[in-house]
């Protein structure tokens, strides 16, 4: 059995290509500042992950050969079956009735967290716990956690980000299925997710999987297309098919749902938490990208202003060679300002020393000047030195930073 869902590798390739293009565009457009902001984001991410891992170590119960040896043996067996080494750190966490499990990664070390509600609900069918363990091992084996930062730019794209997330879940369900001794145990694990800790015993997995045929409507199609997880009924249909040695063909989606989903960036399935995450991302982008863009535009306008200054100094220099002295005004030197980009508010020459001052139109630097100071070298040639007067060197080209 192929443990990798049919579309995951293709979607990963598209995600990687798109993300690399976005990262390259960010680095070029921000003149490399995106790398600095990426480092800041990575540090922030490490702090967030450290908070999660600290919470696990300070709250959850670590699963060891001495503490819950039965669960430890299951995790170790699943790792051997799925060829994962070393065995990740594992914890049992009480989540107030929530049925789930998750894997995380911090500073190169992997962690698996089982919710106690799942373990308690499946006490009669402990092999079904292997499904949860194997599912999380799938995330580790497929490097889903390792690639997440690099793929981040593409994850928010409509359709693509959510499609890749769903493909990963289908892949990890296959890992969970392969980790079970009994081919029906994966169905039991999904049944517990669907019906809860007690009612799963009375639930018909076959009838539940048949509900997948109801997912072809417009709204069910749309909400799945913008979500990170396939409908649970579809996941049940897949693992039932695997138990019978079949690959299940899922029912098609409504065509118009794709058009609407194309207008919705990926928010995930975290409800208010996902919305808050998007709002936070917008805030970070605003705090990072807007200042970077403003600085980029300021540098561009300063470069244009300096180009105007070069034209003026050339006129002053010609006048000096022709008359042996500097002009009283730029008009006397035959200079007429050409500034189609409106980068310069004013430009003037000092008749006493020949210094040409360019006053940028940038509102942040009104009244401040870029000074071109002339001197004569040993060959009687005029040499110009450019520098900002109360204008930071950081927004000027290298030629004007001395």
Strand residue runs (E) in 107-167: 109-115
273 pLDDT higher than 50: no
Determine phi and psi for 214, rounding to 5 degrees.
-85, 0
pLDDT at residue 81, as a whole number: 95
pLDDT at residue 297, as a whole number: 85
pLDDT at residue 2, as a whole number: 86
**Would you state the structure tokens that stand for residue 196, as one six-digit string?**
């809860």
276 pLDDT higher than 50: no
275 pLDDT higher than 70: no
**What's the CA angle centered on 381, arms 380 and 382, to 5 degrees?**
120
Residue 268 parent element (H or E): none
At 17, the pLDDT band (50, 70, 90 cuts) reads: very high
Rounded to 10°, the helix 69-81/129-141 angle is: 50
Q: Per-residue pLDDT averaged across 15-41, rounded?
A: 80
Each residue's pLDDT tens digit, 290-303: 677 778 888 889 99
Each residue's pLDDT tens digit, 108-122: 889 999 999 999 999
191 pLDDT higher than 80: yes
pLDDT at residue 270, as a whole number: 40
Each residue's pLDDT tens digit, 69-99: 999 999 999 999 999 999 999 999 998 777 8
Determine phi and psi for 312, rounding to 5 degrees.
-70, -45
pLDDT at residue 27, as a whole number: 79
Domains of the chain: 8-267 (no CATH), 293-400 (3.30.700.10)
């Amino acid at each position: 059995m192929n443990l990798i869902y049919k579309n995951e590798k293709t979607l990963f390739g598209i995600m990687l290509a798109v993300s690399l293009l976005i990262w390259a565009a960010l680095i070029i457009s921000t003149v490399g500042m995106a790398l600095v902001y990426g480092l800041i984001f990575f540090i922030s991410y490490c702090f967030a992950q450290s908070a999660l891992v600290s919470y696990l170590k300070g709250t959850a119960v670590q699963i060891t050969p001495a503490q819950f040896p039965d669960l430890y043996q299951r995790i170790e067996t699943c790792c051997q079956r799925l060829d994962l080494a070393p065995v990740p750190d594992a914890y049992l966490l009480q989540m107030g009735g929530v049925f789930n499990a998750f894997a995380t990664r911090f500073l190169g070390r992997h962690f698996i967290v089982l919710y106690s509600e799942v373990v308690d609900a499946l006490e009669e069918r402990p092999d079904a716990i292997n499904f949860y363990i194997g599912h999380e091992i799938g995330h580790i084996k497929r490097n889903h956690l390792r690639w997440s930062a690099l793929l981040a730019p593409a994850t928010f794209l409509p359709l693509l980000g959510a499609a890749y997330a769903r493909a990963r879940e289908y892949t990890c369900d296959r890992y969970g299925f392969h980790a079970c001794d009994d081919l029906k145990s994966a169905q039991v694990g999904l049944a517990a997710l669907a019906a809860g800790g007690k009612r799963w015993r009375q639930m018909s997995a076959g009838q539940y999987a048949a509900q997948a045929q109801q997912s072809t409507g417009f709204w069910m199609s749309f909400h799945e297309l913008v979500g990170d997880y396939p409908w649970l009924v579809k996941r049940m249909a897949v693992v039932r098919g695997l138990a019978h040695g079949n690959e299940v063909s899922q029912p098609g989606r409504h065509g118009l749902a794709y058009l609407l989903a194309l207008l919705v960036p990926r928010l995930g399935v975290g409800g208010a938490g996902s919305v808050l995450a998007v709002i936070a991302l917008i805030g970070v982008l605003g705090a990072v990208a807007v200042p970077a863009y403003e600085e980029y535009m300021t540098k561009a306008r300063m470069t244009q202003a300096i180009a105007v200054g070069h034209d003026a100094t050339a006129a002053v220099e010609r006048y000096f060679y022709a008359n042996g002295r500097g002009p009283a005004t730029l008009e006397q030197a035959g200079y007429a300002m050409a500034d189609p980009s409106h980068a310069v508010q004013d430009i003037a020459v000092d008749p006493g020393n020949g210094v040409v001052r360019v006053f940028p139109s940038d509102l942040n630097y009104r009244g401040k000047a870029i000074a071109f100071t002339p001197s004569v070298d040993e060959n009687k040639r005029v040499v110009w030195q450019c520098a900002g007067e109360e204008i930071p060197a950081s927004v000027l080209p290298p030629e004007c930073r001395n």
